[in-house]
Structure formats: structure tokens, C-alpha cells
Amino acid sequence: MTETAAQPGFDYLIVGAGFAGAVLAERLATATGARVLIVDRRPHIGGNAYDRYDDAGILIHPYGPHIFHTNSADVFAYLSRFTEWRPYQHRVLASVDGQQLPIPINLDTVNRLYGLNLTAFELEAFFASVAEPAAQIRTSEDVVVSKVGRDLYNKFFRGYTRKQWGLDPSELDASVTARVPTRTNRDDRYFADTYQAMPLHGYTRMFEAMLAHPNIKVMLNTDYRELQGLLPWRHTIYTGPVDAFFDHCYGRLPYRSLEFVHETHATPQFQPVGTVNYPNDYGYTRISEFKHITGQAHPQTSVVYEYPQAEGDPYYPVPRPENAELYKRYEALTHTRPDVTFVGRLATYRYYNMDQVVAQALATFRRLTAGPEASELAVQPG
């Protein structure tokens, strides 16, 4: 980019310092020498994956528990350039009928819930006997009821989903509850991905390493609109909500929000596993205890409760047909703006995990830079 080096301003303005923005800033600066200004209206980098030490000195995730998992060797190798890892396999219990039972539903869940002693083989027959076959799996209700029947659906999924989304599972795409598998063995891990690990020193340290390039300038507490007219840049990469970029001209895209209530307790351990789900009771969906997730040793412990709500910061796109329709209209508008690239969970309205956002950002980088530098990713070891 020597031809632009003499010009004032930046090659790229990146809006949002979460995974989408940080990956693109790092790639563009490191692999192409581009001059990048990355701004975030929050007072920190990392987006929703940001972590920090609380007043007790415990590493917490202010925006809810973030567990890294992926099947992509490329994504894992890429992030491994910026962090070491602590192997961690997340386990979740669901509080149902007075017991704490493994979720995803597995052999132990069914045996303990119903006081049975089934084998894995018998459990398959059990599921077959209670499942309600659906001609077409269309909704989040269909996915579960067609596999495990209505009683398990009611106990583990219906209440949780209604609380989390403010919608009945029958009103949500199948992809939402399909995130949680059903098992006939005793595997009680929440994820089955090849790579499951936490950044050894936390996400924020990893983001700091990604952005530690002399060509990357970071500006916090700044809405990108405040910069318009102040300084020049060539191309914008936008990772915020797509409807906000276009001033909600077609109306608001629904995003689900959460209130996070953090507590510190004067005991080394609060609950037996990283997360306990409460599908049927209380206003919160789940309680997560960070020390399980981070491996930190500390005489006290910090937990977070998640209370779903309609208003507030946008955290989840809401996958259902009418929202996909509305998103399509905004997506069509993005095609009228060749000066802007839209990437990330909110900008592309996709219920993406962190690794999917990293993969999407890496693919976006390859599209933006069709030159020989783009292949650098493939050869550099993790």
C-alpha cells in the first residue's frame, strides 16, 4: 500500500472492535500494510467477548459466558497466533423437576428424570416411542418434539425458549433449538467440537495482541458517526447492527437483549458446573460461574445471571421467517454501498458463534484483498 502511504487519513475505518472488526484490522494491517482506524462506542475492545477482572479479582465476562469451540483447524490456528489456550470442555446442567440434569439430553438425563435404567440401545427405542414424527422440520418445536417427544420438550426446551426469546419455539426457525443436540450415550459435554479451549490469559489479552500493530489505531468511546467529516478514509468495515447503519429506514430488525446481573459470593464454588439452566423457574435463563470456565483459583467466586429482555443492547438476531425477510431488504441496501463492507453477527443478522464470526471475517479479508498477500494466512503457522 505504498501508494497510499503519503495520503492523509486511513485506508480502512472499522466500526466495532469485536471479533469481526479485530480480525479484519489485524489481517489488513499485518498482511497488506493498510492503515486502519478501529472505533468502538464502548469503552473497551473485544465486543461481547470482552473479559475483565472484577473488584474481587476474578476474571469475568461482563456480557455473559463465552466458551470458545470450533471444528475449524484454520480458525483455531489463526487465533493461536495471539493466545495460548487452556483446554476446557463446558458442561451444563438443567434444573428440572427438582433435579439438576445433564443438557444436552443424554442417557443419564432420561434415566435420572424418569427413574429408569435404560441402556443406550433402549434409549433409542424410548425416543422412537415418544417422538412425534413431523413431515417437515420447520420450527424449533418440530426439531425437539420429532426427536424426544413432548414431555422432554416441555421440561427442557419450551419454557427456556419462551423466556429467552419471548416467543414460542413454534415461532422460531429450527436452527435455534437445533444448536442443542440429543445424545443416546453418556457424553455430557455441551459442545462436541474438535477444538474446545479458553484463551489462557482471557479474551481481552488476545484482542490486545491482535490489535498490537503500529498501523492499527484504536479509538474507544466513539460512535463512528462522530468521525464523519473529521478525517478521510477509503473504505468502511461495519460490524454493528445493519438496520442502525441505514437509520432503520425499513423499521427495526428485532434483536433479543439480556440483562446481566453479576454477583460475587464468599465461597470457593457456587454450583457444580460452568452453567446451570433454569428452563421453567425464575426470570433468568441460566447462571454461569466463571471460575469453572477460566480455571482460576480464588477463595471467592463470581457468577452471572442472564435475564432476557426485548429492549437494550442488541445481542441476538431472532431467527424467524419474517425477520429474514426484513433483513433481506437491508441486505439489498448494503449492495448499494460498495464503499462499505458489512461483517459480523449483527451486521449480517446471523446467529453466529465466535468461531463463525472469525471464519466470516477471514473470508471477507480474502475477498477484500485478492492480491498475493491474501494467501499469507494459509502458510503462516499458528
Peptide bond into 65 cis (omega under 30): no
Minimum distance between the CB of residue 110 and ligand FAD, rounded to whole angstroms? 26
- The reply on whether position 326 binds ligand UDP by CB under 6 A is no
Q: Binding ligand FAD by CB under 6 A: which of 96, 101, 107, 357? A: 357
How far apart, in whole angstroms, are the C-alpha atoms of residue 310 and residue 333?
25
- The reply on whether position 239 binds ligand FAD by CB under 6 A is yes
Quick note: the x/- pattern for ligand UDP over 93-132, rule CB under 6 A, is -x--------x-----------------------------
Minimum distance between the CB of residue 113 and ligand FAD, rounded to whole angstroms? 25
Residue 332's Cβ-count burial label (10 Å; 0-12, 13-18, 19+) is exposed
- The reply on whether position 160 binds ligand UDP by CB under 6 A is yes
Element (H, E) at 237: strand 233-238
- The reply on whether position 354 binds ligand FAD by CB under 6 A is yes
Q: Binding ligand FAD by CB under 6 A: which of 341, 352, 364, 368? A: 352
How many other CB atoms sit within 10 Å of the CB of residue 58? 20
- The reply on whether position 223 binds ligand FAD by CB under 6 A is yes
Question: CA 24 → CA 43, 253, 286, 338, distances in Å?
Answer: 20, 25, 32, 17
Minimum distance between the CB of residue 325 and ligand FAD, rounded to whole angstroms? 22
How far apart, in whole angstroms, are the C-alpha atoms of residue 145 and residue 176?
14
Residue 239 interaction partner, one of ligand FAD, ligand UDP, none, beta carbon < 5-8 Å per kind: ligand FAD
Q: Binding ligand FAD by CB under 6 A: which of 49, 145, 210, 368? A: 49
Q: Say if residues 241 and 347 touch (Cβ distance below 8 Å).
A: yes
Sign of the CA dihedral 318, 324, 329, 333?
positive
Beta bridge partners of 267: none
Q: Binding ligand UDP by CB under 6 A: which of 138, 179, 265, 337? A: 179
Q: Binding ligand UDP by CB under 6 A: which of 274, 279, 314, 317? A: 279
Beta bridge partners of 38: 14, 218
DSSP 8-state secondary structure symbol assigned to residue 200: T
Minimum distance between the CB of residue 128 and ligand UDP, rounded to whole angstroms? 22
Residue at shortest CB range from ligand FAD: 47
Q: Binding ligand FAD by CB under 6 A: which of 353, 359, 362, 368? A: 353
Q: Say if residues 360 and 255 touch (Cβ distance below 8 Å).
A: no
Residue 177 interaction partner, one of ligand UDP, ligand FAD, none, beta carbon < 5-8 Å per kind: ligand UDP
Convert 241-272 into a string of H (helix), E (strand) and C (coil): CHHHHCCCCCCCCCEEEEEEEEEEECCCCCCC
How far apart, in whole angstroms, are the C-alpha atoms of residue 268 and residue 288?
14
Nearer to ligand FAD, 58 or 218 (CB): 218
Minimum distance between the CB of residue 5 and ligand FAD, rounded to whole angstroms? 26
Residue 66 interaction partner, one of ligand UDP, ligand FAD, none, beta carbon < 5-8 Å per kind: ligand FAD
Question: CA 101 → CA 120, 146, 306, distances in Å?
Answer: 17, 21, 19
Residue 177 phi, psi dihedral angles, 5° rounding: -75, -20
Minimum distance between the CB of residue 156 and ligand FAD, rounded to whole angstroms? 19
- The reply on whether position 139 binds ligand UDP by CB under 6 A is no
How many other CB atoms sit within 10 Å of the CB of residue 116? 12
Question: Which residues contact ligand UDP by CB under 6 A?
Answer: 94, 103, 156-157, 160-161, 164, 176-177, 179-180, 277, 279
Question: Which residues contact ligand FAD by CB under 6 A?
Answer: 15-21, 39-42, 47-49, 63-67, 223-224, 239-240, 258, 315, 344-346, 352-355, 357
